[in-house]
């Protein structure tokens, strides 16, 4: 995911979380405490994305606390509002904070990419749960995050073909209309979906770009209806995905509507309205935490977050896994930025399902990661398998 639209000033705020007793026996002992930062949108129109992921981080830290660790871990939250004009300043603040030894985030590719200069200058290791734009780990890209950026979700190089397949599954003589929001994420996912559509023989009857946030999608909806499309794919985020779907319905569009993981948020149903949102097809690299986690971890989730269930909260699994990468390194005694970077880059880790994974040289999971298929039913986004 990623967002580049300009919004109000992001805020960095400390979260007071205490983790265990502190033991120091010599000048060479581990420090009494370190700080992990969580950077994502916590306010603004895409705040649901960051707030969902924070649940995974909180659960991992809660479990770390249960081990009565020698090294206390403090959590610092940083609100970048999924805005690439705000994230450089937020990232600079984290990089200049010497207590911070690692960052979980950002959820969104545009904000993540814009933060790279600050994190590279500060030699600060970053693990994103959901920044999926393929260029972020592409060794040929001038904007990759090497060597400090890593992520635990599949890139849009995998989601693009999956979205193309899922959007057109079961459609006779598909005629697709493609719409993106001009963001790094949206435009990038559109570019990675289009070749698969063409290879499958899908007729692309129209393409449009509407810079988000937008207030009026009526002109775009009229173009879609005039094109006689029977599939619309929106490449962007949930708030504008909902506005577009509502406009399409008002214009009389009756075909399929699909979108990527930027729409994997219950805010989409709010934006579109319950009736309009029904049947929307969504792909996402988010593996539902309620399906991935064992019962003991689900119980810890409830204790850590005060929520009965993680259902309907996206990327909790990936945020949990990303946070636990840092926590494993800290448990092993890696408590400086350079040591953390070496640990993350070279060691093997365990995800919530018990599977082992490690990162490639440029920061992707070496073992790959799935892309799931979802559908909107009633007031929920329901997983239906792999896309």
Please determine, for residue 283, whether its predicted confidence score (pLDDT) is greater than 70.
Answer: yes
Q: Domain containing 230: what range?
A: 157-284+371-386
Whether residues 197 and 246 share a domain: the answer is: yes
Q: What pLDDT digit, counting tens, does each position of 46-67 carry?
A: 999 999 999 999 999 999 999 9
Q: What pLDDT digit, counting tens, does each position of 117-160 carry?
A: 999 999 999 999 999 999 999 999 998 999 999 999 999 999 99
Query: If you search the block for the tokens 């603040």, which residue do you land on?
Result: 93
Q: What pLDDT digit, counting tens, does each position of 364-386 carry?
A: 999 988 899 999 999 999 999 88
Question: Could you give the number of structural domains in the chain?
Answer: 2
Contact 305, 55 (CB under 8 A): yes
Beta strands in the chain (DSSP E): 12-15, 33-40, 72-79, 100-105, 126-128, 149-151, 175-180, 203-209, 231-235, 256-259, 281-284, 349-350, 356-357, 372-377, 380-386
Average pLDDT over residues 310-332: 97
- Of 26-30, 158-162, 182-186, which gets the smallest average pLDDT? 26-30
Whether residues 205 and 303 share a domain: the answer is: no
pLDDT at 72: 96
Average pLDDT over residues 19-39: 63
Phi, psi of 129 (to 5 degrees): -75, -25
Whether residues 94 and 148 share a domain: the answer is: yes
Phi, psi of 27 (to 5 degrees): -65, -20
| Position 332 in a domain | yes
Q: CB under 8 Å, gap of 24 or more: what pairs does 289-293 form?
A: 289/56, 289/313, 289/316, 289/317, 289/320, 289/352, 291/383, 292/317, 292/351, 292/352, 292/353, 293/317, 293/320, 293/352, 293/353
CATH number at residue 246: 3.40.50.2300
174 falls in which pLDDT band (50, 70, 90)? very high
Whether residues 95 and 140 share a domain: the answer is: yes
């Amino acid at each position: 995911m990623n967002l580049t639209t300009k919004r109000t000033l992001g805020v960095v705020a400390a979260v007071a979380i205490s983790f265990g007793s502190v033991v120091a026996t010599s000048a060479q002992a581990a420090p009494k405490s370190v700080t992990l930062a969580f950077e994502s949108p916590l306010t603004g129109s895409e705040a649901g994305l960051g707030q969902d992921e924070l649940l995974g981080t909180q659960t991992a830290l809660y479990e770390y606390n249960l081990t009565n660790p020698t090294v206390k871990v403090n959590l610092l939250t940083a609100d970048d509002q999924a805005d690439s004009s705000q994230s450089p300043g937020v990232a600079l603040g984290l990089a200049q904070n010497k207590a911070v030894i690692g960052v979980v985030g950002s959820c969104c590719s545009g904000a993540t990419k814009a933060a790279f200069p600050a994190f590279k200058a500060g030699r600060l290791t970053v693990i994103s749960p959901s920044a999926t734009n393929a260029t972020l780990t592409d060794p040929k890209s001038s904007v990759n995050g090497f060597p400090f950026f890593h992520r635990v979700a599949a890139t849009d190089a995998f989601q693009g073909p999956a979205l193309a397949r899922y959007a057109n599954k079961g459609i006779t003589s598909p005629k697709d209309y493609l719409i993106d929001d001009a963001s790094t994420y949206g435009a990038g996912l559109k570019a990675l979906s289009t070749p698969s559509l063409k290879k499958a023989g899908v007729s692309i009857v129209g393409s449009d770009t509407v810079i988000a946030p937008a207030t009026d999608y009526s002109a775009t909806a009229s173009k879609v209806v005039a094109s006689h499309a029977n599939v619309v794919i929106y490449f962007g985020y949930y708030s504008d995905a909902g506005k577009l779907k509502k406009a399409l319905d008002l214009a009389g569009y009756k075909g399929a509507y699909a979108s990527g993981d930027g729409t994997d948020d219950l805010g989409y149903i709010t934006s579109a309205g319950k009736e309009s949102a029904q049947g929307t097809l969504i792909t996402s690299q988010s593996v539902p935490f309620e399906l991935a986690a064992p019962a003991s971890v689900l119980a810890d989730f409830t204790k850590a977050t005060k929520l009965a269930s993680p259902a309907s909260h996206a990327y909790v699994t990936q945020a949990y896994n990303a946070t636990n990468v840092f926590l494993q390194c800290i448990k092993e005694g890696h408590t400086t930025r350079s040591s953390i970077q070496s640990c993350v880059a070279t060691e093997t880790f365990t995800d919530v399902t018990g599977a082992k994974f490690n990162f490639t040289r440029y920061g992707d999971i070496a073992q790959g990661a799935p892309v799931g298929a979802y559908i909107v039913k009633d007031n929920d986004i329901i997983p239906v398998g792999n896309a």
